[in-house]
Structure 1
Amino acid sequence: MDLKLWTDELRQLVNVDCGTGTIEGVAQVADILASMWAKEGWQCEKVDLGSAVGPGVLVTNKPHATHFDVLLIGHLDTVFPAGTVAQRPMSQDETRIYGPGSSDMKSGLLNILWAMRGMEKSDLQRLSIAVAMNPDEETGSVHSHQWLGELAERSRHVLVCEAARADGSLVNARKGLAGYELTFTGVAAHAGNDPEKGRSAVTALAHSILAINALADPERGTTLNVGVVSGGDASNIVASWAKAEVDLRFWENSEDERVNRALLDLCETGFMEGVTTTITRLNHKPAMAINAQTEALMKIVERAGEEEGVAISWKAVGGGSDANYTSALGIPTLDGFGPIGAGFHSPAEYLEIASVEPRIRLLRRVVSML
């Protein structure tokens, strides 16, 4: 393959600020990719997912197909704010490429394109292939998960092209996740003159943290993290308000149900007399679990790896992706088909240049075997 051309194309994608909330940047990345696919003769469609996010992009080799042999998924957005590209645009050394979204997941999006560019004409005639690129994965795919789910339900297999892990592993299981916001409403009072007349929302929040932490079950991999707290207006005022954001992770969807029910009950009861608590679930992804259909797809990938000389190993990871949604629908789903990378969501993000070409060959071979 022409690695220089691949790198030049990646630079076009990385050097655009496209955090989920930078809608114009997400749209620009969508335009660049749509143009690349159109030049290959694939049908491209922009998908309006609402004014809160950028567009999705749907690409297919068979525009009139009602079902797909495989759905390839990647996301257009990153976690980084506007101005990041100016501070640290894409760069590289002898072994790695750096930059915002370089491995999470601009390189994965580009590898899909390059894998399909090299497909045999007979395979493209035989197979019905769809590529879905969504604009809001980094904030939980709130606006796009229904669209992705509808596409997945029309597909026999789903391959998500997030980066392979740092050791080269692909992903066959992911923790589910849920995000919550708790709002506490108390009664303000002068902290010196009339403290007894107040009902501190901050104190209620403090009690809630202990109760929420107690819901974790480390042996089953169920964790809760109260990661953001705020409240009160001044130190000499009994706080009338407070807020907390909670992150829940779980391997088993039954644990999600248990904790969700417990959180609702705790908030209904309240954490302190005179302070009311409301809870809102901000986002949710079910766990991506292995089943018999997933194992059959894993065997195909392993055979493809043998044929291409690419070592295949598997890893279950704590972070979620769009694979969580499609797997929960019962569609055989695997993840991690992008180049090898690490340092996601940080300035240290990188991808291994040597992994680009083998991972393109692997993805192409897997699709051809479906």
Structure 2
Amino acid sequence: MRKLVAGVMLAWAAAGAASAEPALLKAAQERQAAALALLEKLVNIDSGTFNAKGLDAVGAIAAAELAQQGFSVEKTPATPAAGHNIVATRTGSGKGRVLLVAHMDTVFPDGTAAKRPFRIEGRRAYGPGIMDDKGGIVIAVQAARLLGDKDFGKLTILLNTNEETGSEGTRALIDKLVRGHDVAFNLEPGRAADGLVVARKGSGEIELEVTGKASHAGVAPKQGVNAALEAAHQVVQLSRLGDDAKETTVSWTVIHGGERSNVIPDHARATADVRVKTPEEFDRVERDMRSIAAKKLVPEAQIALSLTRGFPPMPPSAVTDGLAARAASIYAEIGRKLTLESTGGAADASLMFAAGVPTLDGLGIVGGGIHTADEYAEVDSIAPRIYLLARLIQEYGRRPAITK
């Protein structure tokens, strides 16, 4: 199936860059002020993954913008996550069915928007979640505004509430939606070098739980079973699960143990972030972690280990290469050059790719500093990215459905 789709897409790419559309570019440039205004509204709302009120506030603003454009808008609970996913659909007289996906949640705690509100300094705009992924929402909304009914058969925009924690509340919805479309564009941030994402690692977590026995650290330290000590030992030896040659990383990121300095801790836990390029590496990590963990430093300690698989990998693909080639030719119409990147970050694109639908990622606003206090968006990337997405929708929305 993928080989057939790849052949169709690579044939389109080989046709070369189409003529630039000055009217569309002018319209994209004219939307920049409105895009910045919408971006400011969204950035100034706290919408961490667990903030239902903030997520629904962001969703309401985006839904109003899309309803004004003639989209039919539906809110669906993101159970077990917070807030409501937004699904906006508009039908046209074209042939292709195009799905756009962005997410409303950020990694920042409540109060961050008030502490670091939207601001522009020079040619950069700053604020929590400005590029990951509120900039993506803005690019999707503004690109859709430039399109006519002849530009697509069906255009669907999904705004997810819980991508930052693995999309557990939206996976079933993504799978259902994407299978009813011919191509999917994910509005994750554009890379700092004006890039798109053509491959992603899969993500997962190792949870380590150690149970010991409490005792007085000064009076009877040897009567206890030190769970924190064993957890530290396990963290060190389980770090060897990473494999540089396979680009597999196992990074211990959270560790807890003990409550008082004079008590031998009876419980400890730790969490590791796992990134892999192939599903088989998840299998290898799960197998090897159990044999490694059998080697204890504190024999009496009890150990429980589990690996939770999050997003699957999105490996390199001729299908994706074909989409990227067409995107590059479109960008060249306006004198810009796309870079193509692989990343260790995981995202909804992997779910759409795994469903067998041609997927291209990184079509959001360009910037850097993702997940930090210095997150920024390049103001001068807004109009070109609106143009790029609008043209891609036209390319794949006007044509007959891609045969799978």
Aligning the two structures, in what range does the TM-score lie when normalised by the shorter sequence? over 0.9
Deviations 1:328-367 (A, max 9, x none): 2222211111121101111111111111001110111111
After TM superposition, give the deviation of residue 6 of structure 1 in Å: 1.8
Aligned length in residues: 365
- What is the identity, as a one-letter code, of the residue corresponding to 2:65? M
Residue aligned with 2:332, SS: helix
- What is the identity, as a one-letter code, of the residue corresponding to 2:175? G
Change (3 A) 1:68 1:26: farther
Consecutive unaligned residues of structure 1, counting only runs of 5 or more, are none
1:108 aligned to which of 131, 136, 161: 136
The answer on whether the counterparts of 1:308 and 1:362 sit within 8 Å (CA) in structure 2 is: no
After TM superposition, give the deviation of residue 282 of structure 1 in Å: 5.1
The answer on whether the counterparts of 2:31 and 2:142 sit within 8 Å (CA) in structure 1 is: no
Q: Distance in 2 between matches of 1:258 and 1:139?
A: 23
Q: 1:38 maps to which residue?
A: 67
The answer on whether the counterparts of 1:270 and 1:276 sit within 8 Å (CA) in structure 2 is: no
2:315 aligned to which of 289, 301, 306: 289
- What is the identity, as a one-letter code, of the residue corresponding to 1:118? L
After TM superposition, give the deviation of residue 325 of structure 1 in Å: 1.7
Q: Distance in 1 between matches of 2:200 and 2:247?
A: 11
After TM superposition, give the deviation of residue 303 of structure 1 in Å: 2.6
Q: Distance in 2 between matches of 1:193 and 1:107?
A: 58
Matched, 1:327 2:353: yes
The answer on whether the counterparts of 1:270 and 1:277 sit within 8 Å (CA) in structure 2 is: no
After TM superposition, give the deviation of residue 154 of structure 1 in Å: 2.2
The answer on whether the counterparts of 2:201 and 2:276 sit within 8 Å (CA) in structure 1 is: yes
Per mean C-alpha deviation after superposition, the further-off stretch among 200-209 and 307-316 is 307-316
Residue aligned with 1:61, SS: strand
- What is the identity, as a one-letter code, of the residue corresponding to 1:104? D
- What is the identity, as a one-letter code, of the residue corresponding to 1:22? N
Matched, 1:4 2:33: yes
Per mean C-alpha deviation after superposition, the further-off stretch among 199-208 and 308-317 is 308-317
2:49 aligned to which of 12, 17, 20: 20
Alignment of 1:107-146 (within 5 A): 107-124=135-152, 127-146=153-172
After TM superposition, give the deviation of residue 149 of structure 1 in Å: 1.9
TM-score, normalised with respect to structure 2: 0.86
After TM superposition, give the deviation of residue 165 of structure 1 in Å: 0.7
Deviations 1:36-62 (A, max 9, x none): 100111110001122641110001113
Residue aligned with 1:229, SS: strand
Q: 2:6 maps to which residue?
A: none
Q: Distance in 1 between matches of 2:62 and 2:380?
A: 23
Q: Distance in 2 between matches of 1:326 and 1:268?
A: 38
Change (3 A) 1:285 1:43: same
The answer on whether the counterparts of 1:267 and 1:278 sit within 8 Å (CA) in structure 2 is: no
Q: Distance in 2 between matches of 1:47 and 1:350?
A: 30
Q: Distance in 2 between matches of 1:176 and 1:233?
A: 35
Q: 2:215 maps to which residue?
A: 189
**Percent identity of paired positions between Structure 1 and Structure 2:** 33
- What is the identity, as a one-letter code, of the residue corresponding to 2:134? K
Per mean C-alpha deviation after superposition, the further-off stretch among 78-87 and 3-12 is 3-12
Q: 1:47 maps to which residue?
A: 76
Deviations 1:53-108 (A, max 9, x none): 11100011139xxx972211100111111111111110112311111111111111
Residue aligned with 2:393, SS: helix
Alignment of 1:194-213 (within 5 A): 194-213=220-239
Q: Distance in 1 between matches of 2:248 and 2:71?
A: 43
The answer on whether the counterparts of 2:31 and 2:383 sit within 8 Å (CA) in structure 1 is: no
Deviations 1:276-317 (A, max 9, x none): 122344551111112222222222222322334331220111
1:58 aligned to which of 87, 93, 97: 87
Q: Distance in 1 between matches of 2:280 and 2:305?
A: 20
Per mean C-alpha deviation after superposition, the further-off stretch among 31-40 and 194-203 is 194-203
Q: 2:125 maps to which residue?
A: 97
- What is the identity, as a one-letter code, of the residue corresponding to 2:215? A
The answer on whether the counterparts of 1:184 and 1:205 sit within 8 Å (CA) in structure 2 is: yes
> Which structure has the higher relative contact order (CA within 8 Å, separation 6+)?
2
Q: Distance in 2 between matches of 1:339 and 1:169?
A: 10
Coordinate RMSD, CA, aligned: 1.9
Q: Distance in 2 between matches of 1:266 and 1:27?
A: 45
Residue aligned with 1:218, SS: coil
1:339 aligned to which of 346, 365, 378: 365
- What is the identity, as a one-letter code, of the residue corresponding to 1:151? L
- What is the identity, as a one-letter code, of the residue corresponding to 2:45? V
Deviations 1:89-144 (A, max 9, x none): 101123111111111111111111111111133114xx211111100111121221
TM-score, normalised with respect to structure 1: 0.93
1:238 aligned to which of 248, 252, 264: 264
1:86 aligned to which of 114, 117, 121: 114
2:181 aligned to which of 148, 155, 179: 155
